[in-house]
Amino acid sequence: KTSPLASSNWQSLWTEACAADEVRATEVRVIPGSGSPFLHLDGSLVLPRSLTDQPIDERAQHLLRHESSHLAGQDPFWFVAMSFFSTMLWFHPVAWILNRQHMLACEESCDASAARLGGAKQYKASLAALAVELIPARGAVPCMLRRKSALLSRLEQVTHFESKSPPA
């Protein structure tokens, strides 16, 4: 069963974000409840209902720009490929280290892209607000926001994007 499509406003904003990254826009789907937005392996953007029920603001634009950067980098494919790689070489610590470093580099690159929309300070505020709002207190959470220290570290990295480029 497929998730319902998001409103035309969300789809239009997603199309604009994808155009900025020079990538073809995909469908925007909605799932019930709260949680983290993500890109499905087929490229469709999946948003929690708790987010799509709110008015579209700067936080939403930052979020969509971040996700469109993942789409432009073909990150859903690479996340699966790296996960397969580390699973096949489960016994070798370098495989797990490479997988973790790849995920961090992808997030930093997408954060940098989103920070260019309005500046790093505004993006940090959006990221923090969305994390507090969308990430449940318990249960599965995205890899970059599992611990408070991981979120603080990520916010600190965004500050550095003003003076240095993220990994390609």
pLDDT tens digits for 11-54? 999 999 999 989 999 999 999 877 788 998 888 999 999 888 88
User: What is the structure's pLDDT at 67?
Assistant: 93
CA-to-CA distance for 68 and 96, rounded, in angstroms? Answer: 26
Rg of the chain over all Cα atoms, to the nearest angstrom: 16
Chain centroid, CA 7 distance in Å: 20
Indicate if the alpha-carbon torsion angle 137, 135, 149, 139 is positive or negative.
positive
User: What is the structure's pLDDT at 163?
Assistant: 58
User: What is the structure's pLDDT at 168?
Assistant: 52
Per-block mean pLDDT, blocks of 10 residues, the chain (168 long): 82 93 92 85 89 88 92 90 91 90 89 85 88 64 54 79 58
Q: What is the DSSP string of the chain?
A: -PPPBPPHHHHHHHHHHHHHTT-----EEEESS----EE-TTS-EEEEHHHHTSPP-HHHHHHHHHHHHHHHTTHHHHHHHHHHHHHHTTT-HHHHHHHHHHHHHHHHHHHHHHHTTT-HHHHHHHHHHHHHHHS-SSS---GGGSSHHHHHHHHHHHHHTTTSPPP-
